[in-house]
């Protein structure tokens, strides 16, 4: 007497989110998922080793208090109650969608951008709408329009795949005309010159999400966080699993917050590499979108992006070929070490000549 399909109908209809390829470590030059090519700060590795010998038979602190204190201090926020720690910013995004968008309701994202938001809406049995960027990756007026069914607006800033950034001033204007919360996904913001933290301080409807995966070189650790006004953090705490962050990653992430000088140095180093990448790609005839993130989005007038991607892959260099329906395609290349970039760029030159 079993049901044919016991799953919620929303799941049967949806396609799973497909993350970028993850080949075995060391098997190729990996420039496809915007990881940091450098190891994390030594203090973080040391914190993990110390925590391994600590009381890991005991449950961790459910609220990751040490991390929240360190993060509030590092970011200049008023206190730990403005921070919610998560198992990667993916978990924070999941919690936000579960907190605000019910079955039959809707979220909004710009296009092209991070398609994970669509998957999160699909899982909820909610819907999503994409507002296309205007030329030059500007937000159109429609992005700031409200209606009753719209429950959450998400803006990756810097955006992927473009690497472009919308100014805090512009974000504030969008938020002012929305009746629902606006999430500014700042996964890449440590490589940019502006951010929206001040906006969070004075606006209860603007939330910022961050991750340690990119700038801190900790994609393997799964640690991200939300910055929002304390009553928002308190209510969202109901949704998270009690012990959503483990003792080892809490220790590591707390240590990472103490490494602001390391962070400034890695930013300088990677943004210098990024500048070289951009000028080399331009010299090859690519249209390069000036980037504020740790990747570069480029398109070649000759247009065979997929062939370039395939040629690189045959040469053990993995970049991201991205195709967006009704929009077009292009290549997204993560900023690697100078040696990796030399290898990647010279192989692209060969691809163009072949």
Strand partners of residue 211: 224
- CB closer to its own copies, 3 vs 353: 3
Q: Where are the alpha helices (DSSP H) in the chain?
A: 9-13, 42-52, 65-75, 89-100, 116-124, 168-177, 197-202, 230-237, 247-257, 260-283, 305-314, 338-353
Positions 172 through 231 that interact with its own copies (CB under 8 A)? 177, 179-181, 204-205, 213, 217-222
Q: Which of 101, 256, 312, 331 binds its own copies (CB under 8 A)?
A: 101
Residues 248-267 that bind its own copies (CB under 8 A): 248-249
Contact between 27 and its own copies by CB under 8 A: the answer reads no
How many CA atoms lie less than 13 Å away from 175 in the CB half-sphere? Answer: 23
Shortest CB 88 distance to its own copies, Å? 6
Backbone phi, psi, residue 47, to 5°: -65, -35
How far apart, in whole angstroms, are the C-alpha atoms of residue 267 and residue 261?
10
Options 94-102, 134-142, 164-172, 324-332: segment touching its own copies (CB under 8 A)? 94-102
106, 139, 246, 304: which one binds its own copies (CB under 8 A): 246
Interactions with its own copies, residue window 138-157 (CB under 8 A): 146, 151
Nearest CA-CA partner of 213 in 137, 290, 293:
293
Task: Report the nearest approach of its own copies to the CB of residue 178 (Å).
Answer: 8
Q: Residue 14 or residue 263: which is nearer to its own copies going by CB?
A: 14
Nearest to 205 by CA among 187, 190, 184: 184
Q: Given the complex with its own copies, which of 22 and 167 has the nearer CB atom? A: 22
> What is the C-alpha separation between 117 and 94, in angstroms, rounded?
9
Q: Which is nearer to its own copies, 196 or 266 (CB)?
A: 266
All residues at 6 or more sequence positions from 286 whose CB lies less than 8 Å from its CB, including other chains: 298, 299, 300
Min CB(174)–its own copies separation in Å: 13
CA distances from 277 to 97, 99, 125, 266 (A): 36, 40, 42, 16
Distance CA 101, CA 190 (A): 29
Number of residues that bind its own copies (CB under 8 A): 81
Provide the minimum distance between the beta carbon of 136 and its own copies in the complex, in angstroms, as a whole number. 29
Q: How far is the CB of 222 from its own copies (least distance, A)?
A: 4
Q: How far is the CB of 284 from its own copies (least distance, A)?
A: 28
């Amino acid at each position: 007497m079993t049901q044919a399909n016991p799953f919620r109908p929303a799941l049967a209809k949806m396609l799973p989110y497909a993350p970028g390829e993850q080949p075995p470590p060391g098997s190729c030059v990996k420039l496809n998922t915007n990881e940091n090519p450098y190891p994390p700060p030594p203090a973080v590795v040391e914190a993990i080793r110390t925590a391994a010998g600590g009381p890991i038979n005991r449950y961790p602190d459910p609220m990751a208090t040490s991390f929240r204190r360190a993060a509030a201090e590092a970011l200049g926020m008023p206190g730990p109650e403005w921070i919610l720690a998560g198992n990667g910013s993916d978990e924070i995004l999941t919690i936000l969608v579960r907190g605000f968008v019910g079955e039959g309701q809707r979220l909004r994202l710009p296009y092209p951008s991070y398609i994970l938001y669509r998957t999160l809406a699909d899982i909820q049995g909610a819907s999503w709408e994409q507002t296309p960027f205007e030329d030059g990756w500007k937000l159109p007026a429609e992005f700031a329009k409200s209606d009753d069914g719209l429950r959450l607006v998400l803006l990756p800033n810097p955006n992927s795949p473009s690497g472009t950034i919308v100014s805090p001033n512009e974000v504030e204007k969008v938020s002012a005309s929305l009746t629902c919360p606006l999430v500014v996904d700042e996964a890449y913001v440590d490589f940019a010159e502006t951010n929206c933290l001040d906006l969070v301080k004075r606006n209860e409807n603007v939330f910022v999400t961050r991750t340690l995966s990119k700038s801190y070189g900790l994609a393997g650790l799964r640690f991200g966080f939300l910055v929002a006004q304390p009553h928002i953090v308190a209510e969202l705490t109901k949704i998270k699993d009690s012990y959503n962050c483990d003792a080892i990653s809490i220790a590591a992430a707390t240590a990472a917050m103490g490494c602001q000088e390391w962070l400034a140095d890695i930013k300088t180093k990677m943004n210098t590499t990024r500048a070289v990448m951009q000028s080399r790609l331009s010299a090859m005839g690519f249209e390069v979108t000036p980037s504020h993130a740790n990747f570069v989005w480029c398109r070649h007038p000759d247009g065979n992006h997929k062939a370039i991607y395939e040629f690189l892959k045959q040469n053990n260099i993995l970049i991201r070929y991205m195709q967006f329906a009704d929009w077009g395609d292009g290549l997204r290349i993560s900023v690697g070490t100078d040696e990796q970039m030399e290898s990647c760029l010279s192989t692209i030159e060969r691809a163009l000549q072949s």
